[in-house]
Amino acid sequence: MIYLSTAQVVPSGTSDKYCSSEGLDEMKMELEGSMAVIEEEGRREIEKKKNEEELGGVKTLPFIIANEISERFATEGFHGNMITYLTLELNLPLW
């Protein structure tokens, strides 16, 4: 970088148009425009993440209910099979 003064900084390899005050104003406008684009992209990413976080909730409720029903059905089946095994195979009394 070439330091013209404490108020002006011009990247090396740039043309002399940035050395004038009009050139600096033009450079500032370019930077502000690119910063606006970056800010807009940032806003879009934040909105996208918010939309992703909002998914779920009520949409997942059927899966949760189906899982609970399946778990209870499997548990009852296991208990029935265990009682049959213990009484018939191991000849244990029910009471």
| Mean pLDDT (whole number) for 18-29 | 71
CB 9 within 8 A of CB 3: yes
CA atoms of 26 and 91, how far apart (whole Å) = 95
Name the pTM for this structure.
0.40
Q: Could you tell me where the DSSP H helices lie in 1-95?
A: 21-54, 61-84
CB 10 within 8 A of CB 18: yes
Domain locations in the chain as residue ranges? 1-55, 62-95
Which stretch, 29-33, 36-40, 54-58, 83-87, has highest mean pLDDT?
A: 83-87
CA atoms of 15 and 22, how far apart (whole Å) = 13
